[in-house]
Structure 1
């Protein structure tokens, strides 16, 4: 079965079923991703009849039970718990209002982008950021006369900043765990790549709106409600254990929420559960994908991809670009950057090992290319949600998505002009 293209059939089946359903229904979220993955897993189990079915079950059990997969799922659930409790405690609203209160009127669109960066970096979710910030951006547009599309564009750009970079983002968790590197190392590598893109985005938004002004409103906020975010953000940057950081954030959010009357002690557990529920789907998908990949690897599919890339690329730069293109294309098909990373991660790790690319670099490239795709596709959840919340079309937002485009340029330059010592490093 080695090096046979049929080993990759489960992957093609998933793309055909999932993307086909989206094209036919004109809604890429009409079919739950895990349903398409279950179909792909069933196909994988039917392949290679030389291997007994019981042996195949052992193979997928070993793949699903990998320490990185189990750790990733646990982090997903704890991160969801923190996101749920801190939002219920008023952290998101206070963070948004605090930012709006200190931003001068002429910097308001820039401020929306910066606030979006901080919220997404703290919450670890682009969808949560867009949901929280888009109504505020709409209000700013109505009060100032700024075009709605540019205000929402700034919102999406800020949301994608943290979605790619946050220590508790599901994309970061997936990228780090599939590559076996430390979150702080991936963050440092990632930050150096995307910082120029973020700074140029600030300049572009400022130049576009510098002649627009208005009378600012008064926004209410409670700085105490922002503290859990700061604790998690600072703790993660220092390098504390991610579980310790998240549990600290959960406990602080419980204290703050109970203190300000947002919920009672017993109600806090229900809020935590709701937050965890939000990440159940990606947790299940991660386990199913691990099962599928283990069978594809057993049948020679991973080796086939690596050999194909080896013939198509030259050296580490080519390998890095190949990894980026791989996850970008998968995201185009799945319209979900976390799923794209989970699917591409094992292959990317094999390629990185083969060409001597550092795991932290592979993790950064995976996360960035997936986020670039997710931040630009008009049928992705981010643009669809942002457009629906303010009553415009995703296409209207796309001309103002400067950050994803600049992020792509930054990562391509990073790959093309990486230091020679990194190229030669083993």
Structure 2
């Protein structure tokens, strides 16, 4: 048998540096997607493994395929979620959520209302970008009419949009994080409540304090009214249309597996589309497969609702597959392990490990300028470290979103930061101090790590333990 060399930190850093450099050039210079740079990094990682470490291609390929198998549940869920989005828009469920959300505007609580509206819209659509680029644009105009600085309004929009995106089962990053960490979608969402909801509440208090001095201003809702009229002209809006998301939430609480729960949501969306909007079965099938399309005559409404469908998830699915190949090669050849061992020298307790995870995600957001990679790279890097420390994978997946998802919008050259600036016409450097949720949430996660709150432990077999070290949930 051929003797393989043990991977060193230098071996591991070669493909990582190539990945970061190629991503940075491709995204910032050519505005390209991250897929091809990841393929370049895959090739470099393979060459390092073959030339320097003595691995054969068959072994590398096996490692990649085995890692892809770990992501299949997330891929299937993403495909179903595309269909959920399509049928929920067709049924009027998403438009109804947006419609009622926009109705809560009030001058005295404008910043609080802005955050909550963007939270609702992002929860309904699963997209912070769509929320900021549509409802967010309208709210910026309302804020200007009230005399509130655009940087403050933009901060509230970004906070709300990223809260909804982060907590929505329809979001691609919300599905990506548990896939990288090795936990389930609904378990991941439930665990995020511990850090994200308190962070939102703190943010709302701060927005309430800031917004109180604008309470006497006159509210100009011209752009909001345009959206409301566009929705009501094209959809039958009814409180009954809120039943599909309510039922899915109930299924989450009852711990029904994600795939059956989301398939039920898709079916309900189709049924409600036929009952409330007069859609035919063919319309439902097309919306589930290709997404929803409308020409309402109101550009903001069209941008908000023309989305969804199984096909819309293929970009993210292909990214996950490539990321898993890269992670699988790095894992199989011991290169990720060498990085983990180097980090363990400094991260000697749970708090410092979570701090290291958050700083790594932030660093990837800064260097690679891509939100997805800020979840993928640290996720694969720290997965074994968390397990070896007896920490449940859902803690890692939560931390990946607390850092990777939320800090991306605060960096001007990151894809998320650049989009927010183009949509809201406010620099991330200007709105970052007021995007309270996006920087409070990582701080709350670090605090929890050091005090041990909501840090679920597991035994060597992966069984969840209570605070006394007794098994409470058996790993299957």
TM > 0.5? yes
Taking the aligned partners of 1:382 and 1:228, their CA distance within structure 2 comes to 30
Structure 1 position 350, deviation (Å) = 0.5
The answer as to 2:7 corresponding to 1:3 is: yes
1:363 aligns with 2:363: no
- Alpha carbons 2:146, 2:218 under 8 Å: kept: yes
The aligned runs of 1:203-222 (5 Å cut-off) are 203-212=205-214, 213-215=217-219, 219=228, 221-222=237-238
Taking the aligned partners of 1:82 and 1:206, their CA distance within structure 2 comes to 34
State the match for 1:101 in structure 2.
103
Residue 380 of structure 1 deviates from its aligned partner by 3.3
Residues 306 and 199 (structure 1 numbering): CA distance in 2 closer, same or farther, change over 3 Å?
same
Secondary structure (helix, strand or coil) at the match of 1:313 reads coil
Give the C-alpha shift of residue 70 in structure 1: 0.7
Q: Which moved more, 1:346-355 or 1:41-50?
A: 41-50
Rounded Cα–Cα distance in structure 2 between residues aligned with 1:97 and 1:309: 48
- Contact 2:65/2:325 (<8 A) preserved: yes
SS at match of 1:295: helix
Matched, 1:121 2:123: yes
1:410 match: secondary structure: helix
Q: Does 1:292 align with 2:296?
A: no
Alignment equivalent of 1:313, drawn from 336, 341, 347: 347
List runs of 5+ in structure 2 lacking aligned partners. Answer: 291-307, 458-466, 470-476
Cα distance, 1:350–1:262 mapped onto 2, change above 3 Å: farther
Structure-2 change in CA distance of 1:324 and 1:390 (3 Å):
closer
Q: Any idea what SS the aligned residue of 2:148 has? A: coil
> 1:68-113 CA deviation, whole Å, 9 max, x = no partner?
3111111111112212332344433322221232444311221110
| Whole-angstrom CA distance in 1 between matches of 2:259 and 2:283 | 22
**Equivalent position of 2:162 in the other structure:** 160
**1:56 matched to 2:60:** yes
The residue number in structure 2 matching 1:332 is 366
| Residues 226 and 151 of structure 1, relative CA distance in 2, 3 Å threshold | farther
Contact 1:156 1:382 in 2 (8 A): no
Change beyond 3 A, Cα 1:7–1:211: closer
Aligned equivalent of 2:448: 414
Partner in structure 2 of residue 233 of structure 1 = 249
- Over the aligned positions, Cα root-mean-square deviation in angstroms equals 2.7
More helix by share: 1
State the alpha-carbon separation in 1 of the partners of residues 455 and 135 from structure 2. 42
Q: Do the aligned residues in 2 keep the contact of 1:167 with 1:236 (CA within 8 Å)? A: no
Could you tell me how far 1:390 is from its partner in structure 2? Answer: 4.0
Q: Deviations over 1:222-263 (max 9, x none)?
A: 333433333333332332221122112222222333344485
2:72 pairs with 1:70: yes
TM-score (norm: length of structure 2): 0.80
1:103-143 CA distances to partner (integer Å, 9 max, x unpaired)? Answer: 44311221110122233234333223323421331342355
CA separation of 1:373 and 1:60: change in aligned 2, threshold 3 A: same
TM-score (norm 1): 0.88
Query: Is structure 2 residue 20 aligned with structure 1 residue 15?
Result: yes
Superposed CA deviations along residues 117-171 of structure 1, whole A, max 9, x for unmatched, are 2332343332233234213313423554433333332121111112223334322
- Aligned equivalent of 1:404: 438
